[in-house]
Structure 1
Amino acid sequence: MTDKRSEKNKKMKEAEEFYKKGLIFGQESDADGAIECWLKTVELNPQHFEGWYNLGNVYNIGRGDIDKAFECWNKALELKPDDIDVLYNMGNTYREHKKFDQAIECYKKVVELNPEDHEGWNNMANAYHGKGETAKAIESWKKALEIKPDKYETWYNLGLLYRELREFDLAIECCQKILEKYPNSYEVKRLLDTINKEKENPKN
């Protein structure tokens, strides 16, 4: 029994050493070196959450291999089903590859775990918008604004969507909300000018 425990402790220690080496490779942007180390980490200790999580990240960013990335992230979620960082990375990657339903499921889990997570609502709105579900996008952005009423990006995205929908008064209201906080925003002033012109000269 003592020998088994000693062998297990040895493996755990080796796994941690490989994990730390992998971090150094990661800092040096050496994806191959990091992957080699972290594969060894999870081989020696399959319960090593950070090993699986970082493997997913490096497969995604360093290699562009999203299948391997999701395989590793799912392993990480088996160990920590409520880890928001993993859910965010999965949701953002799904969204980048236009897999909006899967992205939405990840963001839903984020806001279930923390209903006050502004970025969860904001990202979910972006995914709904990408999917073409404008009503749900608006609802999610409004939820985000309940949490952070002064968030520039959220008001701006909402304003753009209202403009797309030709809801010009609501789009103008969004721009004005931003200008209350950021009166010198050239980007918003330009958008507001465009919306006003479109409102005055609606296309048939």
Structure 2
Amino acid sequence: RQSGSNQEAINLFKRAIQTDPNLIQAYVGAAASFLELGDLDQAASFAEKALAINANAPRLNEILGIVFQNKSKLDQAIKCYQKELEVNSKASNSLLNLGRLLLQKGQEAAAIESLAKASALAPSEQCSLLLAQAYQNLRQFDEAIVEYKKLNINRPKNKLIPFNLGLCLL
């Protein structure tokens, strides 16, 4: 799976599951592989089967969260990310995705809480941008400026970044 041979990995994970139907790691691997291939239904199916074996297995609720997020079922995705964080409070992808969804739903304060934790665990431009947007929406301009300044504003990818930084500075 790590080499990018997801279909071959899926076949091997299925064989492992046939040998040991309680092998959680094989379900997680199959679910992650199906997710990589874009087969959301199969990813969800393997994740749900694994959760039926062990409701506290890490990564599975995150996989389900990604599935629901891709299907635009945001409330279900949020619940899955929150469950993942109950199992593993250091799941930085779940923190980032949860923050993004909360920001989309207009829950900036909750988004900041999640994104700040994600940033502390795994700083990224994406996280800084989301934090800056959340702070800006709450009119906490000093905090927004700090986050915008972490970004490379000279890249032409997002022309609104220097604009928003300028607004916050004003």
Q: Which residue pairs with 1:161 in the alignment?
A: 134
Q: Larger relative CO (CA 8 A, sep 6+): 1 or 2?
A: 2
CA-to-aligned-CA distance 1:105-159 (integer Å, 9 cap, x gap):
22212322344544433221112123343342233224445xx199343332111
| TM-score (normalised: structure 2) | 0.72
Contact 2:145 2:169 in 1 (8 A): no
Residue aligned with 2:59, SS? helix
- The structure number with the bigger radius of gyration is 1
Superposed structure 1 runs of 4+ greater than 6 Å apart:
none
Relative to the length of structure 1, the TM-score reads 0.62
- The letter for the 1-side match of 2:153 is Y
Let me know the Cα RMSD of the aligned residues.
Answer: 3.4
Matches within 5 A, 1:18-33: 27=3, 29=5, 31=7, 33=8
SS across alignment from 1:84: coil
Residue 73 of structure 2 corresponds to: 99
Deviation string, structure 1 residues 81-120 (Cα, Å, up to 9, x no partner): 2222222222233223322222212221232234454443
1:73-88 superposed matches below 5 A: 73-88=47-62
Matched, 1:48 2:27: no
| 8 Å Cα contact 1:59/1:66 also seen in 2 | yes
Aligned to 1:13: none
Q: Is the 8 A contact 1:155 1:174 kept in 2?
A: yes
Partner Cα separation in structure 2 for residue 99 and residue 200 of structure 1: 36
Structure 1 segment 112-127 matched on structure 2, within 5 A: 112-127=86-101
